[in-house]
Structures are given as C-alpha cells and as structure tokens.
Amino acid sequence: MLNMLHSTGLPWFATIPIAAFAIRGIAMYYVTGVPARRRAIIRAHLAPLIQARTARELRPIHAKGKAREVNPFAYSFALFTKPLQVVHRTARPYGGASFTWSTVYNIGIFLAFTESIRLKCGTRNGMLGFILAPFQTLLSKVDPVHFPPAPDVIAEKIVARLERAYEQAVATGGDAEQVRFYIDQVQERMPPIVNSDSPYFDASTLVEGFSWCPNLALLDPYYILPVALAAIVLANFRVGNARRGPRWFRYSGLTAAALFGYIGSHMPAGIVLYMISSQAAALCQNLVMRRAMPLPPTITRCTRATRSKARSTASRVY
C-alpha cells in the first residue's frame, strides 16, 4: 500500500497518514472496531451482575489485606487483576469478552506498518527493535560471542571507521600528514548512516519530510511530532470510555501519553508520523462509534432510601 500510494506522486509526509487512515480508519473499523463496540455494549448491560460478582470476589481479598496476611504488592496486584478477570469470565458466555484475538491483530498490524516504514527509511531504530532492545542487551551480556552488541550510537560508528582508516593508512606506510589527510576525507567517503544497501530502502524518504524535519529517517530535532503524539494519545483516551471507569483509570491516560511521547522522541520521524496518524484514525473511529453505536447507561443499584424516625402520636394528650 505504501508503494502504491507513493507511486501516484504523493510525498511521504502525505503517503504515510493516508495509509494509516485507510488501514486503521476503514479496514480495521469493520474487522476489530465494530465487534469490540458490540462487546462493550454487552458488558454495559451486564454491569449489575459484574458489580455483584466483583464485590463478592473482592471480599476475601480485602479481608486478607486488612489482616496483613499478604504483602502490599500482592494485595494491590490482586485488586487490579481480579475485577478484570471477573468482567472477562462474566461477559464471555454472552459474547462480551474483554480480551480477544483482535487486540493481538491490532498490535500485529501496527508493528508490521512501523517495520515497513523503518525499512523504507533504512534506519535501524523501530518499534520492534525498541521492544526487543532489553532482550538483546541481556543476550549480549550473557553470550557476547554469539550475540555481539551492535553499535547503536552514530559516534561509535564514526570512531570505528576512523580507527580502521588509521590502521589502513599506517599499514601502507603513509606519514602523519597523509594519515591526517586521509582521516579528514573519511567523512566524505563514508556511506550514509541509513542502510542504503537494503532492497527496501527508498532514498526519497530522506527529502520528502516536513519543512522543519525533511529527513524522515532521523529524529525530529524540534520534538514537534513527539509532543503531537502525546497530545493525540491523551485526546483519544479522553474521548473513549475512560470517563466510565474509576479515577485511577481516567488519570492513567496521562501516563500513557507520557510513555508514547518518550517513545516518539527516540523513533525516526516517519514512524512517529504513522503513530500520530494511527491514533488520529482511532480518535475519529471513537467519535463515529459514539454516535452510531452509543453505549447504554450503566445500570447501578438504587441508593438506599433515607429513613427518618417518626414521632409516635399514641402518647399525645388531647
């Protein structure tokens, strides 16, 4: 799809958002969006049953917590996971399961598109590499022979090339002036930082960016795209069903926005642009579903009537 849209003459800063809206806003709307909304409607109708079962399941957990029979971490973890388990078990027989394969499908499509853009830009940094970086670091420390650490920093690559150039110049018998001249020319002879040898690399991604960031293979120097990503994630979280949840769930949108902003500051501009477009498509999808398939009001238990003690009239003297 990226090649087809780009072949029409569109620059990459327009091709990537159009592809994101076509996949997330149109195709995945019917594949995952509509079924997920129907399951949410079913869970809204089952709210009284879910509340009753959740209160029953949390009663022994609260008792153990007050008696200090469990450590605070296990107590907090149980309070967080038990309601989710109750919702899933209660709504699953009626077709309203909370966790389905659609979540895995969404994540797979997201990672596939980010990897496609990474290959187009010829860069090494991507979402999949960001996720697997801790495991790669662990393997390089456990077995550095079979899993050598890759030089991720550009300065390390330049230093390594300068050292090889110096060794080669010394081996050929050149004097200090020739070695210095050769080292000065290394940067001009050095190939670009991007992986231009990749068959998927497209050199147009280096010049078809924005005015402040024309190279989509590099980081945004002004952090405009990461800030926009954090803002759109927060807006998407607010427009969704966060208002129906507890307070800690509503305020967790700030944490998610900060996390995405941090990730966006370490990703190439092309990948961050796709993430912004994908979140914007999800925001539009939520707005459409709020009108086309509104959630019913949650059924809650009635508040107990206030009882006032009536004054007895039997002892009145007329």
Least reliable range by pLDDT among 16-25, 151-160, 229-238: 151-160
Q: Is residue 77 part of a domain?
A: yes
Reply yes or no on whether the pLDDT at 65 is more than 70.
yes
Q: For residues 20 and 285, give the distance between their C-alpha atoms in angstroms, rounded to a whole number.
A: 13
Reply yes or no on whether the pLDDT at 37 is more than 80.
yes
What is the DSSP secondary structure assignment for residue 307, as one 8-state letter?
Answer: P
Average pLDDT over residues 229-242: 79
Q: Which residue shows structure tokens 């009635």?
A: 302
Q: Is residue 285 part of a domain?
A: yes
What is the DSSP secondary structure assignment for residue 26, as one 8-state letter?
Answer: I
Q: How many domains does the chain have?
A: 1
Residue 170 tokens read as 């010394």
If we measure between CA atoms, which residue out of 259, 185, 188 comes closest to residue 226? 259
Is 272 within 8 Å of 264 (Cβ atoms)?
yes
Q: Which residue shows structure tokens 């809206």?
A: 21
The values of phi and psi at residue 303, to 5°, are: -75, 145
Residue 154 tokens read as 């550009």
| Whole-Å CA distances, 22 to 1, 2, 152, 232, 290 | 9, 11, 33, 18, 20
Is 220 within 8 Å of 244 (Cβ atoms)?
no
If we measure between CA atoms, which residue out of 11, 13, 229 comes closest to residue 127? 229
Q: Is residue 91 part of a domain?
A: yes
Residue 271 tokens read as 């990948």
Q: Is residue 299 part of a domain?
A: no
DSSP H or E segment with residue 181:
helix 176-184
Reply yes or no on whether the pLDDT at 280 is more than 70.
yes
Average pLDDT over residues 182-196: 53
Half-sphere exposure of 24 (CA within 13 A, CB side): 27
Q: Is residue 32 part of a domain?
A: yes
Q: Is residue 244 part of a domain?
A: yes
Is 157 within 8 Å of 149 (Cβ atoms)?
no
Give me the pLDDT at residue 317, please. 47
103-154 pLDDT, tens per residue?
788 888 888 888 888 888 888 778 887 888 778 778 777 777 777 665 554 5
pLDDT classification of 175: cutoffs 50, 70, 90: low
pLDDT classification of 192: cutoffs 50, 70, 90: very low
Prediction pTM value: 0.74
| Mean pLDDT rounded to a whole number for the chain | 79
Domain encompassing residue 35: 11-146+202-292
Q: Is residue 96 part of a domain?
A: yes
- For residue 213, the SS3 value is coil
- For residue 298, the SS3 value is coil
Instruction: Kindly give, in sequence order, each residue whose CB lies less than 8 Å from that of residue 180, ignoring residues fewer than 6 positions away.
Output: none
Q: Is residue 269 part of a domain?
A: yes
Give me the pLDDT at residue 198, please. 65
Least reliable range by pLDDT among 177-191, 232-246, 267-281: 177-191
Percent of the chain with pLDDT over 90: 8
Bigger pLDDT: 165 vs 216: 216
Q: For residues 155 and 151, give the distance between their C-alpha atoms in angstroms, rounded to a whole number.
A: 9
Other CB atoms closer than 10 Å to residue 272's CB: what's the count? 29
